[in-house]
Amino acid sequence: MIDLYTAATPNGYKVSVALEEMKLPYRVHAVNLMSGEQKTPEFLAINPNGRIPAIVDDGFAVFESGAILIYLAEKTGLLMPSDVQGRSRVIQWLMFQMGGIGPMMGQANVFYRYFPERIQPAIDRYHGEVKRLFGVLDRHLADNEWLAGDYSIADIANWCWTRTARWSGVDPEPFENMARWHRAIAERPAAVRGIAVPQSAELPAKDEEAAKKFADNARTIVEMGKP
């Protein structure tokens, strides 16, 4: 049985959705980010970087969400082709999320939602880059049902982040092809189950008062350059 250490974040959901899609048995360990459980010696022994998610599979620990997705795909032979070029296509779009979508949306979240001061040039910079990346996805999805051939870990990784666009302050409506792709994944039963692990956390992006309250609480776990 796989032990999943996770919390209700896009990176956490990436792994729970994949586990559900692959029908792998797993045991959930909800990590309380607010209380700093991710920084305890016990958790750091699993993930030296002190971040969720992480898994332990028969005593073997894997950290970094992208590395976990690749590990699970190779373990099961699911959600990633075995041929060299097919595998490369999936990993390219997975890295697109890991190196682009995730970091840029994450910084948009920090400056738009969590940073104590409103620094408009920083907000504009990250909103602009998120929109550019969404445009890349949208143009690709105009001619492709999925990101890399068949439905894969690349779709899971990108979807778990892009579905939270409004929390980053970016309107996803202009990206019609991305919206079609969003709907297709959101209708998958395994995706629905996966984004409820360890609990569902719909971000209150449209309710200004609720959004402020959520951001104030979450600000305690946003690291502002601390070691």
- Measured over the CA atoms of residue 38, residue 44, residue 48 and residue 54, the dihedral's sign is negative
* Token digits of residue 14: 């990436």
Q: Which residue has the tokens 């590990």?
A: 71
Largest CA distance in the chain: 50
Write down the pLDDT at residue 188: 98
**HSE (side-chain half, CA atoms, 13 Å) at 108:** 25
- Measured over the CA atoms of residue 193, residue 197, residue 199 and residue 205, the dihedral's sign is negative
In order along its 227 residues, the chain shows pLDDT tens digits of: 999 999 999 999 999 999 999 999 999 999 999 899 999 999 999 999 999 999 999 999 999 999 999 999 999 999 999 999 999 999 999 999 999 999 999 999 999 999 989 999 999 999 999 999 999 999 999 999 999 999 999 999 999 999 999 999 999 999 999 999 999 999 999 999 999 999 877 766 666 666 666 666 666 666 555 44
- How far apart are alpha carbons 86 and 223 in whole angstroms? 37
Using the 8-state DSSP alphabet, how is residue 60 labeled? E
